[in-house]
Amino acid sequence: MRYRVLGGTGIEVSVHCLGTMMFGAVGNSDHDDCARIVHTALDHGINFVDTADMYSAGESEEIVGKALKGRRDDVVLATKVHFPMGEGRNQGGNSRRWILKEVEDSLRRLQTDWIDLYQVHRPDHTTDIEETLSVLTDLVSQGKIRAFGCSTFPAEDIVEAYHVADRRGLQRFRTEQPPYSLLARGIETSLLPTCLRLGMGVLTWSPLASGFLSGKYRKGRPVDLSSGRASLMPSRFDPSIPENVAKLELVEKLAEVADGLGCSLPELSVAFTLVHPAVTSVITGPRTMEQLGELLKGASLVLTDEVLDRLDEIVPPGTNAYHPDGAWLPPSLTTPTTRRRPTPDRPAT
């Protein structure tokens, strides 16, 4: 296992990070089996575990907390905050009020006194970024978190946060966690270069493109939209949708490259995400021990320039074959009034 320093913090993390989104009701509800996955990952040199408060409504954090008993000091533990965790107002977001409440709940579920990396799961444009950075800085001072980062933030939001932290004497985001795969290379255009310039660590997620690069979904094969990842996001797998047809065509070409290397498509996909100089670690989220074994097999795979050139021909750098974040879109796209000039029939609001 290889290790890299996390965003200038001096903390060394494995280049493979164990993601636990599939632990709990959404994926694997067998707590003992999930614990075995954690222990096997640690035994193979993975020292980095990532979860979030909202994964299976807190169940993932509870599983991780139980699994790390007796091994907590050996692990760099990351979790996230932002998405609603209950009904009613003020039960989510990036406000001081919510973060102070939710960090305590995460610490309790994880059965730990501190979180190594506390990440803001998505942007919240209703909350001043200074408000968010201020409370996170306070949590570092209190010893409840060691460092903090963001997840799936646009490059412009990261730059704004950097300058606000500098002007106000606050601590800054040390990491960013974006989606990145052979089918979603859009972050190569500005996000990854921005993180590199600012000295931020990058932890990429969804290297298998939500399962599309798992090898399970191939051209000409029937797709069961009622099970697995397809049941969670059927629109991403429905073969009647033109975008998915185009993805299947790309998968066939990528599978040819993997076959030529004598590796699996998942091994190729994970190895690719570690090539960019901005990337610190890739998050893989196995649901079963078998899936973990497949991912660990490719941990030592290194891609040559010749192979990377071939991959660039199939999916050009900086391009997305689909929109990789199904959980958030910027208000500039979702709110019509931000895209349309006022007229007599459409006054400004």
SS3 305: helix
Q: Torsion angle, CA of 162/203/109/81, rounded to 10 degrees?
A: 40
- What are the respective helix, strand and coil percentages of the chain, to the nearest 5? 40, 15, 45
Note the helical H segments in the chain. Answer: 31-43, 59-67, 96-110, 129-141, 155-168, 191-198, 228-232, 242-261, 265-273, 289-297, 305-314, 331-334
Q: Which amino acid is at 154?
A: P
Rounded distance, CA 53 to CA 20, Å? 11
Estimate to the nearest angstrom the gap between the alpha carbon of 264 and the chain centroid: 22
Q: Is there a contact between 322 and 236 (Cβ–Cβ < 8 Å)?
A: yes
Q: Which of 249, 280, 285 is nearest to 266 (CA)?
A: 285
**Active-site residue (options: 3, 55, 162, 217):** 55
Whether 55 sits among the annotated catalytic residues: the reply is: yes
Catalytic residues: 55
